Amino acid sequence: GAVVSQHPSWVICKSGTSVKIECRSLDFQATTMFWYRQFPKQSLMLMATSNEGSKATYEQGVEKDKFLINHASLTLSTLTVTSAHPEDSSFYICSAPKLDSGANVLTFGAGSRLTVL
Amino acid sequence: QKEVEQNSGPLSVPEGAIASLNCTYSDRGSQSFFWYRQYSGKSPELIMFIYSNGDKEDGRFTAQLNKASQYVSLLIRDSQPSDSATYLCALGAGGYNKLIFGAGTRLAVHP
């Protein structure tokens, strides 16, 4: 149990376009999901916390108008990278708290690799 | 000072040996600690977590936590080439299920 599905697994887009990444909890409800970004050979950096039915909480330095997060249901959170630029090329990973596993135990999606040309 | 510090490696060990991975952290109030394994191009997968001082064993893996010294380590016994990956140390940030990750240590197990 506790599977998080992320789509697409990879995407290539032109500079200036927007890209949407979906994160779904398949067999459980997730009132909270976390979005991370990972640049090559670097660690995962938390971008924002997605909250079902309310606004996302963004980490310091993350532009909320550029990285739009919507958590419209208990099983779906989306991250939209607006007006993407080459420096936004990265590996984006969502995660959700794993059920009945104690605090902070997260299940990760497979990740989405974004390449902006 | 970074919140979670790890040696980037690579740590190279022969097959069958014990691999020792270390992590230090700055927040004395941290209560939960995690080790994740990440293969290249993949998302992290949880190896184990530890909340209390001392050792916690799970198969070939042993996590060790020393809150007084603010370090947590992971021992991998009988290392296999399939263990070659980047190992991420993470700590829980407050009660909101957030995790703060270290930069990871790359482990290479050679036959």
A2 interfaces chain B, CB cutoff of 8 Å: no
A102 interfaces chain B, CB cutoff of 8 Å: yes
B100 interfaces chain A, CB cutoff of 8 Å: yes
- Determine the pLDDT at residue B68: 94
Q: Which of A42, A46, A106 is closest, CB to CB, to B103?
A: A42
pLDDT tens digits, residue range A46-78? 999 998 888 999 999 999 999 999 998 999 999
- By DSSP bridging, strand B105-110 and strand B11-14 are parallel
Q: How confident is the model at residue A99 (pLDDT cuts 50, 70, 90)?
A: low
Q: What burial letters (b/e) apply to A53-87, b meaning 16+ CB within 10 Å? A: eeebbbeeebeeeebbbebeeebbbbbebeebeee
| Mean pLDDT, range A14-22, rounded to an integer | 97
- Determine the pLDDT at residue A13: 96
Q: Answer yes or no: is pLDDT of B106 > 80.
A: yes
Q: Answer yes or no: is pLDDT of A21 > 70.
A: yes
Chain B: give the shortest CA distance to residue A59, in Å: 11
A48 interfaces chain B, CB cutoff of 8 Å: no
Percentage of the residues of chain A whose pLDDT score is greater than 70: 94
Chain A: give the shortest CA distance to residue B1, in Å: 15
pLDDT tens digits, residue range B11-60? 999 999 999 999 999 988 888 999 999 999 999 999 999 999 999 999 99
Q: Answer yes or no: is pLDDT of A31 > 70.
A: yes
- Determine the pLDDT at residue B98: 80
pLDDT tens digits, residue range B80-102? 999 999 999 999 876 557 888 99
Q: What burial letters (b/e) apply to A24-33, b meaning 16+ CB within 10 Å? A: bbeebebebb
B45 interfaces chain A, CB cutoff of 8 Å: yes
DSSP B1-45: --SEEE----EEEETTSPEEEEEEES-TT---EEEEEE-TTS--E
Q: Answer yes or no: is pLDDT of A95 > 70.
A: yes
Determine the Cα–Cα distance for residues A82 and A1; give it in Å rounded to an integer: 33
DSSP B51-95: -SSEEEEETTEEEEEETTTTEEEEEESS--GGG-EEEEEEEEETT
Chain A: give the shortest CA distance to residue B104, in Å: 6
- Determine the pLDDT at residue B94: 63
Determine the Cα–Cα distance for residues A4 and A7; give it in Å rounded to an integer: 10
Question: B42 burial class (0-12, 13-18, 19+ CB within 10 angstroms)?
Answer: middle
Average pLDDT, chain A: 91
Q: Do A111 and B99 touch (CB under 8 A)?
A: no
User: Considering just the CA atoms, what is the radius of gyration of chain B in Å?
Assistant: 13
- Determine the pLDDT at residue B2: 65
- Determine the pLDDT at residue B110: 95
